[in-house]
A = this chain, B = another copy of it.
């Protein structure tokens, strides 16, 4: 952490047009009312839902910065403008005329695990469950951009949702950008369906971006405007939000693709208030899911019982951008134990035992820890 007084330090990003000061600094210990309010508005996937190959819609995590907008199908238009030869204004039905594709994609919030960091940036206090996997159906972004014909000086594509609000004193619509290389890949979708049904309001009805392999902030919901621009995008959520920073005045590194990670279904049954798990001593399968970013497969999952590590069996990847199932046969011994799981991907990246701390609490892929009491 910085030695300077972080309360007074502006983020001196040369690209930050807001010159806004960090109004919040990381804290320790008990949680604020504001953190709880955020936790009540968003939802974690309950970890027993790791049992589903694809997460049912009401169980998939949501992170919505602002209110869910009230949109009407008849008035809805997605515009494509800026550095394009043919600006577009597309009704929902216009979008549906492009070739349709379905992809199974695991999405995770970049702030997942923030609540497990110490000190902890005061924001959405995720523990483990800001995760979900769905079958997204949509059209390829590149097909829509091909119709609009990008001009040669388009260096970024910016994407705006219909949601709007304030953060750090700055009013803005939710907006993010992608470089043309990624935007023109075959993977990025403008999705209109999730698990075979129209998008629900909280997942971006009627249209949203889905950027496989990246943290969820890139997958802009309630997508109403795509603008091709001839300069780097300077929206708040691009240049202030979603950076790995070591201190308030560190320009930081943008958050992009998912870090390798695994989660387990907590075994046994819970205690309501503490979440402690109570397990019978019969041999049992401990199971979970593992994933990494950019379509890199997971090649290994290990499980630790009280610091002794064992190999779990991992299913080979069936979908480039979706989690893989893993399982481990455990012979519980009575007493209190801590279970951990750790994934390693094909690039050799593996999960740390403790979080890689950063100012805003981004990309925490430390091993999950589950306290169990075997009776």
Contacts and interface: CB of A to CB of B under 8 A. Distances in A.
A364 to B, nearest CB: 14
B165 A273 contact: no
B278 A171 contact: yes
A359 B51 CA distance: 37
B59 A201 contact: yes
A126 B203 CA distance: 23
Q: What's the number of copies of this chain in the assembled complex?
A: 2
A36 B125 contact: yes
B58 A70 contact: no
Contacts of A166: 269-272, 278
A43 B46 contact: no
Contacts of A127: 36-37, 40
Contact of A35 (B24, B36, B67): B36
Contacts of A125: 36, 40
Given A46-B67, A66-B269, A68-B49, A275 B37 contact: yes
B46 A129 contact: no
Contact of A36 (B39, B56, B122, B269): B39
B164 A269 contact: yes
A288 to B, nearest CB: 14
Contacts of A273: 23-24, 34, 38, 122-123, 167
A32 interface: yes
B32 A126 contact: no
A97 interface: no
A197 to B, nearest CB: 9
A360 to B, nearest CB: 12
Interface in A51-79: 51, 56-59, 62, 64-68, 70
A167 B272 contact: yes
Contacts of A167: 271-273
Contacts of A29: 30
Contacts of A59: 200-202
Interface in A322-357: none
A44 B29 CA distance: 24
A67 B40 contact: no
A272 B57 contact: no
Interface in A253-274: 269-274
Most central of A24, A58, A127 by chain B CB within 10 Å:
A58
A48 interface: yes
A231 interface: no
Contact of A32 (B31, B41, B64, B271): B31
A171 B41 CA distance: 30
A115 interface: yes
Counting chain B CB atoms within 10 Å of each CB, the highest count among A44, A59, A272 belongs to A272
A34 B275 contact: yes
B165 A269 contact: yes
A153 to B, nearest CB: 34
A41 B40 contact: no
Contacts of A278: 165-166, 171
Given A29-B30, A164-B269, 4 more contacts: A36-B39, A36-B127, A166-B269, A166-B278
30 contacts: A24-B273, A29-B30, A30-B31, A31-B33, A31-B36, A34-B273, A34-B274, A34-B275, A36-B36, A37-B127, A39-B39, A39-B40, A40-B44, A40-B129, A41-B129, A46-B67, A46-B68, A48-B68, A48-B70, A49-B68, A57-B58, A57-B200, A58-B202, A58-B203, A59-B200, A66-B272, A123-B272, A166-B278, A167-B273, A171-B278
